[in-house]
Amino acid sequence: MTELNIGDIAPDFTLPTDQGFDMTLSDFRGQKVVLYFYPKDDTPGCTKESCNFNDALPAFEALNTQILGISKCGVEKHKKFSEKYALSFPLFSDKRGTVCEDYGTWVEKSMYGRKYMGIERSTFVIDEEGKIEHIWRRVKVPNHVDAVKSALEG
């Protein structure tokens, strides 16, 4: 796995979404994209992060920016999660984890001394041409959405 850096072309992908059809990252060319990777639907941190992005959607739309969430959860789980919290942006299902690997978010984690593989909460801002403009790794949920918004506002 190669480490992605600011200025790199964001790896393109096509994945199923909670909206019932496949979507492709490059379909969003011409606008900025906030692509956030999160560990699991309907867990406290992931719910808060997703709801924070959803609440800030009007501000992101005013900046011509699309929000996209991605995790390894399946489409049905995404659909339930999205409906439960009335999320207004697509959630991509990366069940095989290939996109997580392409973005370097599938990492070894540790909890209570036990090591396991999981998604590192990460966010990428991708510009109108498909280049990575900002990267946040090991994201802490509080104030994260504000930090992303501030970065987009320049």
Task: Say which of 46, 51, 73, 100 is annotated catalytic.
Answer: 46
**Whole-number Å distance between alpha carbons of 76 and 80:** 6
What confidence tens digit (pLDDT) does each residue in 81-115 have?
A: 999 999 999 999 999 999 999 999 999 998 899 99
Whether residue 7 has pLDDT greater than 90? yes
2 — pLDDT class (breaks 50, 70, 90) = low
**Whole-number Å distance between alpha carbons of 141 and 85:** 17
Whether residue 151 has pLDDT greater than 90? yes
> Tokens standing for 60?
């992101």
Structure confidence at residue 11 (pLDDT): 97
**In sequence order, what are the residues at sequence separation of 6 or more whose Cβ sits closer than 8 angstroms to the Cβ of residue 118?**
39, 106, 107, 109
Whether residue 116 has pLDDT greater than 80? yes
Structure confidence at residue 3 (pLDDT): 87
> Tokens standing for 6?
């600011």
- Rounded to 10 deg, the angle between the 144-153 and 44-55 helix axes is 40
Whether residue 78 has pLDDT greater than 80? yes
What confidence tens digit (pLDDT) does each residue in 14-71 have?
A: 999 999 999 999 999 999 999 999 999 999 999 999 999 999 999 999 999 999 999 9
Whether residue 1 has pLDDT greater than 70? no
Structure confidence at residue 55 (pLDDT): 97
46 in active site: yes
Domains defined along the chain, listed by start: 31-153 (3.40.30.10)
